[in-house]
């Protein structure tokens, strides 16, 4: 079946540190891949997405590249800020079927 595995948290970083949150997937067919962010007390917000192999999604300094050969979609940011503290979810869709989410990774950035 279709599924997403992302690195377990929590992740704690100092401000301006480099961030990587790993995400790998299993899918039949050709999935679209997403990263969502959930701030405390809020719903999910789409952070970035990629719909085909080698596509790079980017937004607000975050990037992720769709790697078909390694079935991965790792999230990176060069310099995190306190305001980036949130829970990050990797997700996939195949053929517009239901969206499958990873377990989520809680990021805390300390000043």
Partner 1 sequence: KAGVTQTPRYLIKTRGQQVTLSCSPISGHRSVSWYQQTPGQGLQFLFEYFSETQRNKGNFPGRFSGRQFSNSRSEMNVSTLELGDSALYLCASSLKGEKETQYFGPGTRLLVL
Q: Which two tokens stand for residue 5?
A: 């595995």
Given a contact cutoff of 8 angstroms between Cβ atoms, the answer to whether 99 and 3 are in contact is: no
Binding residue for partner 1 (CB under 8 A) from 49, 57, 66, 80? 49
> What is the gyration radius of the CA atoms in the chain, in angstroms?
13
Is 53 one of the binding residues for partner 1 (CB under 8 A)? no
How many of the other CB atoms lie within 10 Å of CB of 110?
11
| 75 to 24, 46, 72, 97, 104: CA distances (angstroms) | 11, 13, 10, 23, 12
- Nearest-approach distance from CB 42 to partner 1, in angstroms: 5
From residue 64 to residue 93, the character string flagging contacts with partner 1 as x (rule: CB under 8 A) and all else as - is -------------------------x-x-x
From residue 26 to residue 45, the character string flagging contacts with partner 1 as x (rule: CB under 8 A) and all else as - is ------x-x-x----xxxxx
Query: For binding to partner 1 (CB under 8 A), which residues are involved?
Result: 32, 34, 36, 41-45, 49, 51, 89, 91, 93, 96-104
């Amino acid at each position: 079946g279709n599924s997403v595995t992302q690195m377990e948290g929590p992740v704690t970083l100092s401000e301006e540190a480099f961030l990587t949150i790993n995400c790998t997937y299993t899918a039949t067919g050709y999935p679209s891949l997403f990263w969502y962010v959930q701030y405390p007390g809020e719903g999910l917000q789409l952070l970035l997405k990629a719909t085909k192999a080698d596509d790079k999604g980017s937004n607000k300094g975050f990037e992720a590249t769709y790697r078909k050969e390694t079935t991965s979609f790792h999230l990176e940011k060069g310099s995190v800020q306190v305001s980036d503290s949130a829970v990050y979810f990797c997700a996939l869709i195949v053929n517009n079927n239901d969206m499958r989410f990873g377990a989520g990774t809680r990021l805390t950035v300390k000043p």
